[in-house]
């Protein structure tokens, strides 16, 4: 019972992002890659969830025993690094469970727990968004395992700084120069002067928590780093509930 849907569907968001990133070859090879993974893991996949994400093909899957999963095939990029490792460390406590993972040359491929009904936290009433996030939040803060592979939070903040500094003067003009300089200073300094270094889900926002049966809300798309958990208050402050961009990252996939 291994296979993929006869009509292979590629979500528009993924196709557009692949074209923008120059990943046409990756996209062309995606049907064969999904078919190979389905055969290796003995699962059957359906059409992808829509609208889907900008870096991954995400679809329901089922094994020969009728167990439901979600298959995520993501092109390799910095944000996808250590996603499977983070989910292994959390082991289902506040986040979706990881069942299998394959790090291929062209893709990061986890087989994940399927959430039902799978509604995103962003679809709940605005005054409930914080409650949806707060449920998993503290449970995801934990000591990283010995010999862990996770990057320090300062790496992520340094990346944001470099992205800003690479912008043109006109693009940087959205902020007053003194304010921008202070923000850059704090982004460099604070991650290196914080408290406990805990494992963090660095993109925990209303689009990345799903309603589930096992727990009221489960986190997806973790982007794990190790650092001061006080940093993770930022999304509550500056992310609008219906925003498609969070901390510079595009909207994540819906693992319904």
Residue 43: φ, ψ to 5° = -130, 160
Rg (alpha carbons) of the chain, rounded to whole number: 19
Task: Measure CA of the first residue to CA of the last residue in the chain; give whole Å.
Answer: 22
- CB contact at 8 A, 29 and 107: no
User: Sign (positive/negative) of CA torsion 161, 162, 167, 169?
Assistant: positive
CA–CA gap between residue 21 and residue 176 (Å, rounded): 30
For the record, the structure tokens of 79 come out as 């944000």
Tell me, yes or no, if 203 is annotated catalytic: yes
CA–CA gap between residue 173 and residue 152 (Å, rounded): 30
- Tell which residue, 49, 63, 62, 59, has the closest CA to residue 12: 49
Choose, from 203, 221, 242, 244, the residue flagged as catalytic. Answer: 203
Query: Which residues belong to the active site?
Result: 203
């Amino acid at each position: 019972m291994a296979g993929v849907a006869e009509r292979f569907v590629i979500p528009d968001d993924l196709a557009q992002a692949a074209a923008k990133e120059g990943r046409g070859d990756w996209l062309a090879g995606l049907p064969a890659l999904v078919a190979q993974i389905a055969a290796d893991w003995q699962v059957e996949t359906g059409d992808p969830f829509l609208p889907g994400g900008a870096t991954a093909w995400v679809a329901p899957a089922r094994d020969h025993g009728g167990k439901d999963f979600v298959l995520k095939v993501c092109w390799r990029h910095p944000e996808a690094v250590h996603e499977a490792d983070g989910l292994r460390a959390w082991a289902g406590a506040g986040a979706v469970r990881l069942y299998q993972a394959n790090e291929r040359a062209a893709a990061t491929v986890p087989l994940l727990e399927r959430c039902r009904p799978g509604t995103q936290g962003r679809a709940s009433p605005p005054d409930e968004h914080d409650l949806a996030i707060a449920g998993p939040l503290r449970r995801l803060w934990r000591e990283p395992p010995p010999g862990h592979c996770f990057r320090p939070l300062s790496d992520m903040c340094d990346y944001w700084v470099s992205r800003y500094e690479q912008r043109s003067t006109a693009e940087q003009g959205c902020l007053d120069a003194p304010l921008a300089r202070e923000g850059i200073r704090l982004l460099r300094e604070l991650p290196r002067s914080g408290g406990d270094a805990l494992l963090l889900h660095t993109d925990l926002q209303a689009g990345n928590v799903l309603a589930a049966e096992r727990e009221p809300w489960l986190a997806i798309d973790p982007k794990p780093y190790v650092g001061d958990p006080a940093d993770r208050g930022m999304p509550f402050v500056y992310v609008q509930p219906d925003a498609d961009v969070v901390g510079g990252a595009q909207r994540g996939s819906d693992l319904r």
